[in-house]
Amino acid sequence: MTISILLIILGFVLLIKGADWMVNGATSLAKKKRVSDLAIGLTIVAFGTSAPELVVNSIGSFQNQSDIVFGNVIGSNNFNLFFILGIVGLILPITVQSSTVWKEIPISFIAALLILGLSNSYLWQNDPILSRLDGVILLLMFGFFLFYVYKQMKNEGIALESAQISIAIENQSNRKIWGLIIIGLAGLVIGGKLVVDNAIEIATELGISKKIIGLTIIAAGTSLPELVTSVVAALKKNSDIAIGNVIGSNIFNIFFILSISSLINPIEYNRNFNMDIYLLLGGTFLLFIAMFTGKKRKLDRWEAGLLLLIFIVYTLFLIGNET
């Protein structure tokens, strides 16, 4: 078991560094094209920091590990929403753009609602399963989301809002940029395989359900890039990247990662995950309401603290129920 734990840690290191290299390369490419901070946060950074979840889920789906597939995405989204925004909001109250309040947060709520309906087969008369047809629906929603971001970028005039393009980024060669992206992807693939295989082995040895492993250890581990990215953005007082990264990642996780996972293999759904999705829906709604309490369009410290407290109680409840 010691070897399995060490291999999981190595896997997380490769996932985080791989995502970091890929994000650096992709962000440098986007900055050269004069893409705005918010657009980068919602797309490239969100996609890059969600890459560990994508790799872990693709491997899990291929191996028919349905509890790990759902546990990773739902757990990661709750970790992003409650823990990361809680920590970031305590560091710096987050000012949120009007478009995020009225568009991106509601889209993330709709995404969670949709996965609840599709997975429980409320829309079709089937056993609870995320089928390939459901995957196509989610992928179409992801396409609509990308189109929305494209329109937003077009309306902004593809202008940088607050960050200045550094000379280092301007002078980076395309070879170096693509090298970072390719090496990053390799790290993600290898790291993802190590995490999934060894997490399953530990769960089997300890008699812990794969659902709990997915919702806690794997979800937190694959969300570390989002945590680091958002904390650094908060310390640099860049609220757009901090909030865009979290909301964008949650949308990506459901619309893109779960769609790809179900297209690889239809995923059987354990209805015990419903409680975790209800928590995600409640947390997203709470974030929306927080935009109108206290200072308008700002996540105040007390609200961030409430999110963090809910996550701690939720995690203790999961562990307590397992034992």
**Which three-class secondary structure state does DSSP give residue 299?**
strand
Q: Please determine, for residue 229, whether its predicted confidence score (pLDDT) is greater than 80.
A: no
Model confidence pLDDT, tens digit, residues 36-47: 655 665 566 666
Q: What CATH number should be reported for the domain whose range is 2-322?
A: 1.20.1420.30
Q: Please determine, for residue 265, whether its predicted confidence score (pLDDT) is greater than 80.
A: yes
Q: Of 176-185, 273-282, 296-305, which range is least confident? A: 176-185
pLDDT number for residue 168:
44
Say which residues have a Cβ less than 8 Å from residue 50's Cβ, sequence separation at least 6: 226, 249, 252, 253, 256, 257
- The residue type of 248 is G
Q: Which range scores top for mean pLDDT: 22-26, 120-124, 266-270? A: 266-270
Q: How much is the average pLDDT of 252-275?
A: 92
pLDDT number for residue 114:
94
* Nearest CA-CA partner of 310 in 49, 46, 53, 85: 85
pLDDT number for residue 162:
38
pLDDT number for residue 284:
93
pLDDT band at 297 (very low <50, low <70, confident <90, very high): confident
Measured distance CA(77)–CA(245) in Å, rounded? 12
Q: How much is the average pLDDT of 193-213?
A: 80
Q: Please determine, for residue 156, whether its predicted confidence score (pLDDT) is greater than 60.
A: no
Q: How much is the average pLDDT of 101-114?
A: 90
Say which residues have a Cβ less than 8 Å from residue 305's Cβ, sequence separation at least 6: 86, 89, 90
Mean of the per-residue pLDDT values for the chain?
A: 80
CB 251 within 8 A of CB 113: no
Q: How much is the average pLDDT of 242-252?
A: 82
**Which three-class secondary structure state does DSSP give residue 198?**
helix
Q: How much is the average pLDDT of 229-237?
A: 76
pLDDT number for residue 43:
63
pLDDT number for residue 119:
92
Q: Please determine, for residue 154, whether its predicted confidence score (pLDDT) is greater than 50.
A: yes
Say which residues have a Cβ less than 8 Å from residue 46's Cβ, sequence separation at least 6: 244, 245, 247, 248, 249, 251, 252
